[in-house]
Amino acid sequence: MSSERSSLTKADVDRANLLEAELMGFDQGNITEPAREYNSQSSNTMQENGVDLQKVFAGNVRKVMQDNVKRKGDKEILNRVLKEIEMISAKRMSEGLNQWNFSFGVFNCFFIVYIFGAHPEHLWLVYLVEGMYMIPRKFYNMWHAKPLNQALYYLDFCWSMNFTAFALILLLVFSGVVAHDEGLVSDVARKSFFNAMMGVACGTLMGANIVLPFVACMFHDVNTMTGLFIHLMPPMVMYTFMWHSAEIKEHWPYIFHLTYLEGLKYFPEEGIFFTPGDGLDSVAGSSVALYFLWWIPYVCFQLLIGIDLPKKIKDDGTPAKPVWDTVFHSTMRQGLCITLGKVFRGRSKKDSIALCMENDFDLIDFFIYMICHLIAAMAAFYLIGYPCFVSQEFHLFMIIFVTWLVVARGAKRYTYYTTKMYARVLRQHFADHFS
């Protein structure tokens, strides 16, 4: 065979390549006419050079058939990949990833930043108006979420505090603009409300922007942007009340009195450490009291019915048909179950994953979760809320820092959407094929 190869001239090699190219039209044993014509014209030349024409021809046909089979397999893989990519694209589009939502989201962010910098006295109104649109819109999406209804997410602390803020603002607007009775809400009540919301907004909600990975700036996604809205807007609004109170009183004298700001104190007279319920005339005392007004009912709700709602298996071992999800179960599924199980309970990763798959978390897991939530909230009151109370520069720095953080998270997700997400699909399908 080596002597045959060595006797082939360059012209013979070119002719063989041409034959192979023409044989690409090979279909069910039929050779294309150009190949047949070339075969008859070049057979004498190749035989004179000592080449077995039949072997060359059979080898080329075999190679073409193998290439055709390979191409058919590649075509099937590419079709599968394209269909998968189209499905992912359709899913993103259904979530709002289009030019209009993206453009509106970007414009709204610029608008909020403009109002915050140029007209801080009106930021509370932007918060109220946009919240009255975004929160019901997200609730509609949560109600129709699959596989579990997410409406109970609104019972979580951050959502509850925003509902409280909306109710207080609407009450003040009603008393000053509609009822024309500024005494409807006494100055004592106004001060208590302000104290409580100051600590919650600048402490717990500001800290939540740092520790919660799902708080991100995704311009197109109303669900994600609403989550960002309820965590970042309250600290920004409270910044305007704390450091631009003169402008607010000038433009909205019948709604916001703010006469009590000069006498505010962050910690009660008993000191920085106190029993919950004491020091209600201070920011920390009112904030802690408001936190426990949420914490106790929420724990009771989970103990009575909440913890069993998303379970897939009943206590008697029979399959359940869960309908409702909760923030506790969602947070545990996102990796917290593995961390808590490893750190506090010595549980293997495999066992924790099994619990996440079944939504079957016990009371010990729940109490560890709620105690950690309590400790984090209290720490935020002291470590973030207090510096924001005493320093305008620190308050502004924290707003800028968490803004950068949520934008970075959003950029990471957009990078994944545009590159890694599709690369993962390609790797998965081609890995399955070659394995």
Q: Is the pLDDT of residue 410 over 50?
A: yes
Residue (of 229, 199, 170, 202) closest to 291 by Cα position: 199
pLDDT in tens, 263-282: 899 999 888 888 888 899 99
- For 276, phi then psi, to 5°, come to -55, 130
pLDDT in tens, 294-322: 999 999 999 999 999 999 988 888 889 99
Answer yes or no: are the C-beta atoms of 361 and 329 closer than 8 Å: yes
What six digits make up the tokens of 11?
């012209």
Distance CA 377, CA 374 (A): 5
Q: Is the pLDDT of residue 141 over 80?
A: yes
β-strand partners of 319: 313
pLDDT in tens, 218-239: 999 999 999 999 999 999 999 9
Q: Is the pLDDT of residue 7 over 80?
A: no
Instruction: Say what angle helices 222-243 and 157-173 make with each other, to 10 degrees.
Output: 50
